[in-house]
Structure 1
Amino acid sequence: MVKRGCVMMFSMIMITQLIPCTEALECRTGEYELDGQCCPTCPPGYRVDEICHTMRGTMCVPCDPRTYTAHPSVLKKCLPCKVCDLEFGLVTRRECSSTSNTVCSCSPGYFCADVKNDHCEMCVAHRVCSPGQYIKSRGTERNNTICEKCPAGTFSLNGTLHQCLPWTNCSAQGLSEENPGTYTTDAVCSSHSPHTYITTVISVISTIIVIIIAVMLCYFIKKKKPSAYKVARRAKAFEPGEICHPLEADGSVTNIPVQETRQQVESAPQKERMPKSQDSREP
């Protein structure tokens, strides 16, 4: 009984002695604790191939291509290098090495929306300013484009300018404003003022009226004047076989054949047929 009690007491003494020893174990920088002993870590660019034991330290081997370790570690596998995906606007700024990961940045026209330890995780396309806006601040690799609306009296056709353009001052050029300017279009000027336009319209209308009056006068004059046919008939009044008589009331010409006229003369009384010269010699 006494012997058994001594064994138990000895065991308790040993446990109390082991606990302080375990808690007192402190590994130096570049070492790690494993099974009650301090083992060295693998340097950057290496991984653990075999862990240490009482007879040998940690066995390290270099990282495989396209893998890395950036800090002293006890990793049994190196970390895979990051791939910069062009589909997400990422480009490679620094290639991966055995001791550092790939560094990605944004391609032109994109900015980084998620940055972790100088590594860009996601790129977003720069904002495109709309017509009627101007670029207040152009986008960079870390910041998006800032757009602002054009001030009053200015315009921007496509939103690619750093400053909106002023509307054209038509009155300063001696022109009239046909269409006022907007945020997206310039003012449209016209070379004809309202007064000139009215004067032009009146002039055109007056010309048309004069032409109409002239046509009407020509029509009435032509209607009253004998036709060319009638004048030609007058000129033929003394042609053989015809005797020209004065125009009738309707303006027509009556032609009497010569044979018919002779018969009328012969049938007339002798006195009527006597020439006027003989009548003048009678007593």
Structure 2
Amino acid sequence: MFIYLLVCVSASLVLSSAQASDNQLCDPETQYRRDGQCCTMCPLGTRMQSSSSCLDPVCDPCGINEYQDKYTTNNKCNRQPYCDPNTNFESPAEQSKKAKTICMCKEGFHCSGKECITCAKHSTCQPGYEVVSKGSKIHDTICRQCPNGTFVSSTSGKCEKWTECEPGFYAAEGGTSESDTQCVSRHRTHIIVGVITAGAVTLMMIGVCWCWCGNSRKGHQDINGHTIVDCTHADECEEGHKISTPVENEHTDVSSDDLGITDQGNYVAQEFGKLERLSRQESHDYSRPVYLISP
């Protein structure tokens, strides 16, 4: 009885060791078991024909836009993903048949989420903000506000220190996060003030001269129906008197009664006008006479 039990235990141990040795002979990555044998799989980038033998399978390469990234017994390859340009994706120039293609965002775009279903355009750092990290295909641009005492006036630039005004200059405008300090020469300011002051004084002098000249100009004035003539010489006034004397109409019949006759038979001339002498205004030269011609 004891011998029988010993034989049974020995047989079971032999069978177990045989099965263990058979399992160790098959490579789980490149082989598969069929009908108690370790069969060969097709390599990466290929597919196995259905009529292949166990030890020497027939493997065909994957087609266009197909891939196989591990050893396989399948008779079909996997399809490569479609990189849609309408969602800002771009496909690599060459696709491998041994690996899955990863759709990458175009230049200037990044994945909008962890799954990278769509691509979003990189953010632009506005004036007053500098670029900490440029955007890539997987993350957006990171911006930071310029610290105090620095500025950046362009987009996507680096912060720079404010300009310190040199001696002889002063800060007309202080710096901000978007603009630099504006330095102006003190000498230039004095020149501008002097030019403005000189211009104002010149305009005032021109105005005074204009008013004085306007008041001093006096032409012919009509006072109480008389015309004042400013004469330099008496001859000029006499000439003016002659010109202003009415001309007798030769065709008008004048009776002797109207004209009057002297005892000697001579006609009496009628006085048409009288020459009067007036004093000039105080503003004129009293050495020059002024004559008033009566109408």
- Same fold per superposition (TM over 0.5): yes
Establish whether residue 214 from structure 1 lines up as the match of residue 209 from structure 2.
yes
* Structure with more relative contact order (C-alpha pairs < 8 Å, separation 6 or more): 2
Establish whether residue 62 from structure 1 lines up as the match of residue 74 from structure 2.
no
Identity of aligned residues (%): 24
237, 253, 256: which one pairs with 2:291?
A: 253
Which runs of 5 or more residues in structure 1 are unaligned? Answer: 1-15, 258-283
> 2:201, 2:51 → 1: CA distance?
113
> 1:149, 1:185 → 2: CA distance?
13
Q: Give 1:79 deviation, angstroms.
A: 0.7
Which residue is 1:102 aligned to? 101
Establish whether residue 186 from structure 1 lines up as the match of residue 190 from structure 2.
no
Which residue is 2:71 aligned to? 72
Contact map agreement 1:237 1:245 (CA 8 A) in 2: no
> 2:34, 2:206 → 1: CA distance?
119
Q: In the superposition, relative to structure 1, how do residues 94 and 115 fare at CA in structure 2: closer, same or farther (>3 Å)?
A: farther
SS at match of 1:184: coil
Once the two structures are superposed, residues 222-279 of structure 1 have per-residue CA deviations (whole angstroms, 9 ceiling, x without a partner) of 35x877961259543334577753216789734479xxxxxxxxxxxxxxxxxxxxxx
Bigger Cα displacement from structure 2, 123-132 vs 193-202: 193-202
1:182 is aligned with what amino acid? T
Contact map agreement 1:96 1:103 (CA 8 A) in 2: no
Matches within 5 A, 1:15-26: 26=23
> 2:114, 2:91 → 1: CA distance?
14
Contact map agreement 1:48 1:76 (CA 8 A) in 2: yes
Which residue is 1:172 aligned to? 166
SS at match of 1:50: coil
Contact map agreement 1:129 1:135 (CA 8 A) in 2: yes
Which residue is 2:45 aligned to? 45
2:54 is aligned with what amino acid? G
Q: In the superposition, relative to structure 1, how do residues 255 and 112 fare at CA in structure 2: closer, same or farther (>3 Å)?
A: closer
Q: In the superposition, relative to structure 1, how do residues 115 and 220 fare at CA in structure 2: closer, same or farther (>3 Å)?
A: closer
Contact map agreement 2:231 2:290 (CA 8 A) in 1: no
Establish whether residue 238 from structure 1 lines up as the match of residue 238 from structure 2.
yes
SS at match of 2:204: helix
Q: In the superposition, relative to structure 1, how do residues 23 and 212 fare at CA in structure 2: closer, same or farther (>3 Å)?
A: same
2:40 is aligned with what amino acid? P
Bigger Cα displacement from structure 2, 25-34 vs 62-71: 25-34
Which residue is 1:152 aligned to? 148
> 1:256, 1:101 → 2: CA distance?
124
Q: TM-score, normalised by structure 1?
A: 0.58
Q: Give 1:109 deviation, angstroms.
A: 2.3
Q: How many residues were matched structurally?
A: 232
Q: Give 1:34 deviation, angstroms.
A: 4.8
Contact map agreement 1:137 1:145 (CA 8 A) in 2: yes
SS at match of 2:208: helix
Which runs of 5 or more residues in structure 2 are unaligned? Answer: 1-11, 222-226, 246-272, 282-288
* Larger helix fraction of residues: 1
Q: Give 1:62 deviation, angstroms.
A: 1.0
Once the two structures are superposed, residues 144-164 of structure 1 have per-residue CA deviations (whole angstroms, 9 ceiling, x without a partner) of 433332233332222232x33
SS at match of 2:166: helix
Once the two structures are superposed, residues 106-138 of structure 1 have per-residue CA deviations (whole angstroms, 9 ceiling, x without a partner) of 44324567799xxx8765543321111222343
Calculate the aligned-residue CA RMSD, in Å. 4.6
Q: Give 1:57 deviation, angstroms.
A: 2.5
Matches within 5 A, 1:65-144: 65-66=63-64, 67-93=66-92, 95-102=94-101, 104-111=103-110, 123-141=119-137, 144=140
> 2:49, 2:138 → 1: CA distance?
41
Contact map agreement 1:81 1:101 (CA 8 A) in 2: yes
1:28 is aligned with what amino acid? C
Q: In the superposition, relative to structure 1, how do residues 210 and 101 fare at CA in structure 2: closer, same or farther (>3 Å)?
A: same
> 1:148, 1:236 → 2: CA distance?
95
SS at match of 2:73: coil
Contact map agreement 1:63 1:69 (CA 8 A) in 2: no
